[in-house]
Structure 1
């Protein structure tokens, strides 16, 4: 009940109108997010506790058996090693290249918008299309493709890039296509971070005798980009864990997917939608992968102090 002497404020027609328009614009997106994200996630967790062969409405409850089976599966453990190796390659390479491009573009005195757009443009390309371009035009077979053509100019032997496992040349193809696709996006993030650095810091450093170049970058630019660097690394790790399109479209053919370089999502795809269609086992693997991503993300955030208040004084 309202306190004695107080009156309950009624919303004005203007406020009710604003609330109505809020739900008109936000409602469809919220409904789509619930239907196509949260409901499938909840259903996947539910399926992981059942024996779900060829059905999404199972009745045979098996508890944690699917989790035990997927963790004991050598192919799944090998898939975890694959994405760990991919992460070890792609995260530092993308970080260094995007930061270098941001520094170079940020120092341009003319055509800055042009070069920023040129480097950012590949992010609009589909991963599937990019993978096919890499597979059919650049690293195609033994006799064809741009890479083998260049090797032929120097008299070097032709390479079967996607089927050679010793040495594993397929990593070069996988890493370069992902670099081309995502470096421009992270370059833009670093450009935004560079624009937030006060010019007075560089002026004060010049007065103190700091030389432009590596010394200024090490003591001013790089520390000032700490928040941006943390966000970039977190996004890179999460995206690396979710790799699927480039692996599947580069390495699979009419005979199927080779036994090497099989990331978790490819393993789960064949487990849940392959010949066996074991949706319970696939769902358990998806939950395990989601937990790994969550744990790694939280550990990184705590390690870098994300969200921690800066010390005062």
Structure 2
């Protein structure tokens, strides 16, 4: 290496901090505030993610430093595991329940709140407030107070007024009443958040469109909603559906806290994250299989998101 090459390297090393700090160190405070967050994000998010991918290629029983390389063996084992495939089926069923239910409820709430002439901020806050509640706390309230399997539960008390026998909501599999408990708690927790998204979309619709529709003889109500309001919410609807599907893939807290007890988790209604939790942290401590399942799940989420985005034309210029 020539002397000029050494000099160029030294000049680059010397100017790198200056480039990061910017002229007259204007970026100094940016790095002061962002630096700790960036370091924490790398240490507690990206490093574990990369290490999980690394573990998925090894036979990692009770260790995070494996030496037995198995290649794609863990992936093959997971894709041929009936329990894992059944957990994906549970996700599909949960998605079929929760996505349309949350979409319809949040859109209905947004339409009602948007039409209010007074106390709009109050009702917006009331419906949004459950979003701040912990999934664990809400699940325990649903399990111990509302859908308790004994006669003291709120649901059984109300049914008792009409002469209906008490129901073991979380342990009855025929019919599967546990789905009612799981779906309602998720609805209560997340409908307010998506209501806010729809409210933002509704407030972006120009009032001139409604004035023009009234002049053309459009009847207020369903006709205006179908031909003006709903088409104008297309971009918001696409974003809401994408977020709902991704969140359904990540369901864990409500399933685990509602259905598990001192005897463990029942064999039914196991979403992917619950199954992976017991695979990686259960009796076998098989971190290799658990990591492979997590990578498969992440790929499925990514593919589902891309397919939905292409299907709905996300990012495409509107006519």
TM-score, normalised via structure 2 length: 0.93
Q: Counterpart of 1:214?
A: 222
**Which of 27, 34, 37 is equivalent to 1:26?**
34
Give 1:25 shift: 1.4
Tell me, in whole angstroms, the C-alpha distance in 1 between the residues paired with 2:69 and 2:57: 6
Any residues of structure 2 matched to 1:33-112 within 5 Å, and which? 33-112=41-120
Deviations 1:67-102 (A, max 9, x none): 011111111011000010000000000000000000
Give 1:14 shift: 8.2
Deviations 1:117-175 (A, max 9, x none): 00000000000000000000000113220000000000011100000000000000000
Give 1:268 shift: 0.3
Tell me, in whole angstroms, the C-alpha distance in 2 between the residues paired with 1:98 and 1:32: 34
Any residues of structure 2 matched to 1:98-137 within 5 Å, and which? 98-137=106-145
Give 1:310 shift: 2.5
**Which of 222, 235, 239 is equivalent to 1:231?**
239
**Which of 246, 251, 254 is equivalent to 2:254?**
246
Does 2:301 match 1:288? no
Tell me, in whole angstroms, the C-alpha distance in 2 between the residues paired with 1:305 and 1:17: 43
1:140 aligns to what SS in structure 2? coil
Tell me, in whole angstroms, the C-alpha distance in 2 between the residues paired with 1:252 and 1:53: 24
Larger mean Cα displacement after TM superposition, 22-31 or 117-126: 22-31
Tell me, in whole angstroms, the C-alpha distance in 1 between the residues paired with 2:81 and 2:144: 33
Tell me, in whole angstroms, the C-alpha distance in 2 between the residues paired with 1:84 and 1:16: 55
Gaps (5+ residues) in structure 1?
Answer: 1-9
Does 2:232 match 1:205? no
Q: How many residues align?
A: 302
Q: Counterpart of 1:262?
A: 270
Tell me, in whole angstroms, the C-alpha distance in 1 between the residues paired with 2:22 and 2:53: 43
Q: Alpha carbon RMSD of aligned pairs, Å? A: 1.4
Does 2:301 match 1:297? no
